[in-house]
Amino acid sequence: MATIPYLLQRGFTWSWRRRVPEFSKKTSHWQLSLRTTGHSRAWITARRLTHAYDRMPDAITDGKLTPAQAKAWLTSVVRRELDRIERQRRACRMDPVGSREEDRRLDWATARAWRQLAVSGLHPDLSERARREVLEKNRTEAGPSLTQARPLGS
């Protein structure tokens, strides 16, 4: 991963620190905790914050946003991004089907079915010999459990 210039680690927690434009007299830097110890989460969140911050100075200069509102907005960006990452990871970890081995076999079968659809179309006219060849190939590549499954619509 490339380095992010505004990403820093204090102890085990990652933070994002950025210089505030010179029109703000109180502080010269804003530092926000990214509330994570994982580098990949911190990297993603810091990129989002940097993007959001780069759009913000013009709004502050034009008087549309006060520095306090801007900092609160950036904090909400951190929360939203961490929530999004967590939802995405939770969805990846959900396993409604069964074991990893079963998931792997079913993923293989799905990919094979899509390939077959791409080659033969939705309603292929397979001879009995071609049908046996496809079933035999599937049996040897994925194991017998997939070819014994009931076809959809049965």
Task: Say yes or no: 39 and 110 in one domain.
Answer: no
Task: Say yes or no: 51 and 107 in one domain.
Answer: no
Task: Say yes or no: 106 and 89 in one domain.
Answer: no
Task: Say yes or no: 51 and 121 in one domain.
Answer: no
Task: Say yes or no: 82 and 141 in one domain.
Answer: no
This prediction has a pTM of 0.50
Domain count, the chain: 2
Which of 56-65, 80-89, 141-150 is most confident?
80-89
Question: How much is the pLDDT for 26?
Answer: 64
Task: Say yes or no: 84 and 12 in one domain.
Answer: yes
Among 93, 114, 131, the domain boundary falls at: 93
Question: With 50 as the cut, is the pLDDT of residue 144 above it?
Answer: no
pLDDT digits (tens, 9 = 90+) for 21-69: 665 566 678 888 888 888 888 888 888 888 888 888 777 777 788 878 8
Task: Say yes or no: 13 and 71 in one domain.
Answer: yes
Task: Say yes or no: 87 and 17 in one domain.
Answer: yes
Answer whether residue 109 is part of any domain: yes
Domain ranges, residue 140: 100-147
Question: With 50 as the cut, is the pLDDT of residue 3 above it?
Answer: yes
Average pLDDT over residues 12-22: 82
Task: Say yes or no: 70 and 12 in one domain.
Answer: yes
21 contacts: CB under 8 Å, gap ≥ 6: 57, 60, 61
Task: Say yes or no: 12 and 83 in one domain.
Answer: yes
Question: With 50 as the cut, is the pLDDT of residue 154 above it?
Answer: no
